[in-house]
Chains A and B, each alone.
Chain A
Amino acid sequence: MTDAAEEYEAVVVGCGPGGAAAAATLARNGVETLVLERGVDAGSKNVSGGLIYAEESAPYTIDGLFPDFREEATERPVTENIIHNIAGDKVKSFDIGDLHHHDTAWADAVLRRKMDSWLAKQVHERTRETGGGLLTEVHVTGLLRERGEIVGVTTEELDPIKADIVVAADGVNSELARDAGLMDWEEPEEWFQGVKAVVDMEPEVINDRFDVAPDDGAAHLFSGDLFDGVRGGGFLYTNESSLSIGTVFHLDSIAEERAEPHELLDSLLTHPLMAQWLSDEYDEREYSAKLVPDSKKAAHPSPHEDRLVLVGDAAGQMQAQGPIIKGMNHAVTAGALAAEAFADARARDDPSQAGDLYEKKLHDEGVMDKLRPTGYKVFGQLGELGPVDDLSNAIAESAVGRFGVRAAAGLLERAYASPRMVSMIPDTKLPYVTLPTVIAEELGEPVTDENTVSPPDLGDRIGDLTYDVGDPHIELVDKSFEASGTAVTACPVSAEDFGGGCYRDEMVQTNGSEEHLVSLDTQPCVECGTCAIVADTEWEHPAGGKGVEFNQG
């Protein structure tokens, strides 16, 4: 066989919501579109907390592009939104329905394997009609260049492929975005890390325990002192016959505190507040983990280069501000806008304009302002300056601050539910830990239920995942503990004094001196990307169809 490149008009890399939206929109415009997905099935590599939104202000929504989406691919709609402020066993709950409903046409809980594989079927049917189609188990490794210009993609499984447009929807650890030099894995401050347990529960039991109708669902958020001071919070969403329970923390905070992500998740699962929902027969279907870009810092303002456009997580388009966590909807909008931009550029006989047009559409349609809100730029970043942060924490914890919290309980609840206030939240301890703790201490009631949940240990959690890793895909470049030791704790499938994970550290005797070294076994890797940031690695995804396979996601 020859090595000559094949040509398609468009190549979309990744079939999550961003890739699916791009592919569907390209196909609708009659563009010959090839979609390459590296999982054995779309969704097998994808994890999300689990809420997908359709925003009233968005030019594209997932159900607009895929009309049967909500019937076929989602779990329960969110009809109740509560945030719980926790201090010890004291809890003060606020209804943040107003925040949730702001600009929201609907929001549904989803499990990604089911959702993405359904989307992939629709995408294949639609793109096949254009002469393209969707292929799974293809790992796109990088960009194909001619005379320095991006002209297509290279893959592990196929000959190079040329295209007039390459849509990189290859997720948070996008190899294409990094090949193009548009994204990196440098600053822990730009990332969150989420871990999640999907817990089995009969639909009737969910209806009963959450007091929701069969077609309704609840979203609960948790913050306060239950996470050992690590900045972040927890969530619980109701699916049709399971719960998605997880925690999301700033990666720099996980790294600094040497926190063990799975233990933070366990802190939530075993808190007395959870007893009302979780019974003795706690049955965890799946443990999963994912990096989450913080769009305020990581969303690329100009996510394109030559014929390459980035959409969704690959471009850092993940909005996480306090209780708002929106990613998939922005990926959908961005994917469709990128496709629209290419269709427009092609109509003008100049496909090379697609990237600039895409960038303009992101701004004109208000996507960039949602991802990088002005309020955060003005007030939030100010709050992150050391002295301001120290002062705010001191005030909130002081008698004066506490008096204010007591006096202004109603105002606080309204503030929590205000989209404008939330957009200004700084990434500091104040909103994530100090304030919720003070609120709970001053206003909360003790929860006396006994929580009897005993979550599986990390070994069992890893053991329940499906792996076919193939060759090691991550290389540990600097094995010293100084350079890479953080991975031992921060990696969601590793832990100190746990032998079965990816990373472990040991003291090694060499020529009379002792060295503190780190070793890596990629066998249990969940491909979250944490170690690409907190350790010194050469990080790549496994080959197509290889590596972890999520059944829930």
Chain B
Amino acid sequence: MHTVVMTKGVPDFREGQVSFDEDGHLERGKTPTVMNPNDKHALRAAFQTKVRNGGHVSLMSMGPPGYEEVLQEGMRDVYADDLYLLSDREMGAADTWATAMTVATGLQNLDEQPDLVFAGFKTADGETGHTGPQTCWCLDWPMITHVLSLDIDEDAGTVRAKRLVDGDISEIETVEAPMPCFIVADPEFEPTYRKASHRLKHKDLREETQQRAEEYEEHLTVWDHEDLNLDPDYIGLDGSPTIVSGVDPIPKAPSEREATMIEADEREALEPVLDELTPYAAGD
């Protein structure tokens, strides 16, 4: 089994991490880059296949050299046997299409061809959800999206998945596909380990991957467009059919309500809050 997970580095949008300028534009320089949170669900799903079915999990990204640390984060926080970064200037400013072309070529360039490729459900910055499916289109594989849980039958060469129909939590269907197969993990994906032996293996592998992440460079392969034999005209900005005509910041909601500031370091000081809220407690 060879499983590959696609990931992207995104600004850390969490409170206290993200930084915006006066006009509401993201300050990239002041905001740390982290692994796209949805991709961690995909990586957890891939890790589950490693624990249950064995094999090899690779984590792949396309981006600037700094994305090495994004890959390291995935290796440390979830799991990876090795890391692949597709990186050079020619790949820069790619849209989802050019990215998909590049990543699909990266996948085909692997020594051991993958049986499963996982992507997360859209990125925290672009939010298009295009790159995964377009990569799958390039590979011409079957694809299962919005996957909640996963079982692999290696002998039959099939994967069986529970998925949300149209992303609707109220409707779940079970589908089966031959491998190789492309999986988009839903953020609701829950790895399950009902066997003690799986949990013990999980514990061993988690320990191993955390140690490996300390020296991740030894497990990292960086490919540029020449390594992948890619024509610069079809990747990066030149290979991107998408034209961004403009970006409109969403204006901040005007705060028209009156606010009363209460210092809350003492119990007594919270009494006025109670007084304020009590009338609403009855549901009026």
Asked whether A133 lies within 8 Å of B194 as measured between CB atoms, the reply is no
Question: Within the assembled complex, what's the spacing in Å between the Cα atoms of A104 and B206?
Answer: 42
* B113 CB-CB contact with A under 8 Å: no
How many of chain A's residues have a CB under 8 angstroms from any CB in B?
A: 15
Asked whether B196 lies within 8 Å of A158 as measured between CB atoms, the reply is yes
Asked whether A158 lies within 8 Å of B200 as measured between CB atoms, the reply is no
Would you give the 0/1 interface string for B198-228, flagging 1 where the beta carbon is closer than 8 Å to chain A?
A: 0110011000000000000000000000000
Asked whether A135 lies within 8 Å of B151 as measured between CB atoms, the reply is no
* A34 CB-CB contact with B under 8 Å: yes
How many A-B residue pairs have C-beta atoms within 8 angstroms? Tell me: 32
Instruction: Select which of A8, A128, A135 is within 8 A of B199 by beta carbon.
Output: A135
Q: Which of chain A's residues have a CB closer than 8 A to the CB of B196?
A: 6, 8, 34, 36, 135, 138, 158, 161
Asked whether B192 lies within 8 Å of A1 as measured between CB atoms, the reply is yes
* A159 CB-CB contact with B under 8 Å: yes
* B195 CB-CB contact with A under 8 Å: yes
Asked whether A1 lies within 8 Å of B195 as measured between CB atoms, the reply is yes
**Closest chain A CB from B7 CB (angstroms):** 27
Asked whether A6 lies within 8 Å of B197 as measured between CB atoms, the reply is yes
Nearest A residue (CB) for B201 = A133
Q: Which of chain B's residues have a CB closer than 8 A to the CB of A161?
A: 196
Question: Within the assembled complex, what's the spacing in Å between the Cα atoms of A1 and B52?
Answer: 10
Q: Which of chain B's residues have a CB closer than 8 A to the CB of A36?
A: 196
8 Å CB interface, B183-201 against A: 192-197, 199-200
Q: Which of chain B's residues have a CB closer than 8 A to the CB of A135?
A: 196, 199-200, 203
**Closest chain B CB from A127 CB (angstroms):** 9
Would you give the 0/1 interface string for B25-59, flagging 1 where the beta carbon is closer than 8 Å to chain A?
A: 00000000000000000000000000000000000
Asked whether A128 lies within 8 Å of B197 as measured between CB atoms, the reply is no
Asked whether B200 lies within 8 Å of A1 as measured between CB atoms, the reply is no
Question: Within the assembled complex, what's the spacing in Å between the Cα atoms of A8 and B194?
Answer: 15
Instruction: Select which of A1, A124, A128 is within 8 A of B194 by beta carbon.
Output: A1
Asked whether A132 lies within 8 Å of B195 as measured between CB atoms, the reply is no
Asked whether A158 lies within 8 Å of B203 as measured between CB atoms, the reply is no
Question: Within the assembled complex, what's the spacing in Å between the Cα atoms of A34 and B199?
Answer: 11
8 Å CB interface, A106-136 against B: 124, 128, 132-133, 135
Asked whether B195 lies within 8 Å of A133 as measured between CB atoms, the reply is no
Question: Within the assembled complex, what's the spacing in Å between the Cα atoms of A161 and B151?
Answer: 21
Candidate in B151, B195, B196 with the most chain A CB atoms within 10 angstroms: B196
Instruction: Select which of A6, A133, A159 is within 8 A of B203 by beta carbon.
Output: A133
8 Å CB interface, B131-170 against A: 151
Nearest A residue (CB) for B151 = A1
Would you give the 0/1 interface string for B116-137, flagging 1 where the beta carbon is closer than 8 Å to chain A?
A: 0000000000000000000000
Q: Using A1-B192, A1-B195, A8-B196 as known contacts, list a sample of 18 further A-B pairs with CB atoms less than 8 Å apart, ordered by residue number in A.
A: A1-B151, A6-B195, A6-B197, A124-B203, A128-B200, A132-B200, A133-B203, A135-B196, A135-B199, A135-B203, A138-B196, A138-B199, A157-B194, A158-B193, A158-B194, A158-B195, A158-B199, A161-B196
Can you list 9 A-B pairs with a CB-CB distance of less than 8 A? A6-B195, A6-B196, A128-B200, A135-B203, A138-B196, A138-B199, A158-B194, A158-B199, A161-B196
